[in-house]
């Protein structure tokens, strides 16, 4: 296991998760009276681990059929589209 790769992935995911909808949803659940805070953490962390696992499996399969260059372009277009959608939604 290459520690540089692990650090890069960790930092990328950590920074992209800060303030996203998942974190805000977790914050809202944790702020509700009667919700067990440890339970909220375990459920939220488990969901993130499971979705990450699925992403790794799908990414491995996609890489067998689609060139990395194409995946990066599609991902970039997707992020730009989502960013524009959020920007336009915030203005209305």
Q: What share of the chain is helix, strand, coil (3-state, %, to 5)?
A: 85, 0, 15
Residue 13 CA to chain centroid, in angstroms?
7
Which pLDDT does position 16 carry in this prediction? 83
Helix (H) or strand (E) holding 58: helix 37-65
pTM of the model: 0.70
Contacts of 22 (CB under 8 A, 6+ apart): 44, 47, 48
Predicted pLDDT of residue 92: 75
Along the 92 residues of the chain, how does pLDDT read in single tens digits? 899 999 999 998 888 888 788 888 999 999 999 999 999 999 999 999 999 999 999 999 999 999 999 999 999 999 899 889 988 988 87
């Amino acid at each position: 296991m290459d520690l540089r790769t692990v650090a890069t992935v960790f930092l990328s995911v950590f920074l992209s998760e800060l303030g996203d909808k998942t974190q805000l949803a977790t914050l809202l659940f944790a702020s509700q009276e009667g919700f067990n805070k440890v339970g909220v953490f375990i459920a939220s962390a488990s969901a993130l681990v499971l979705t990450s696992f699925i992403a790794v499996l799908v990414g491995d399969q996609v890489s067998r059929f689609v060139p990395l260059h194409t995946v990066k372009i599609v991902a970039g277009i997707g992020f730009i589209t989502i960013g524009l959608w959020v920007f336009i939604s915030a203005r209305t």
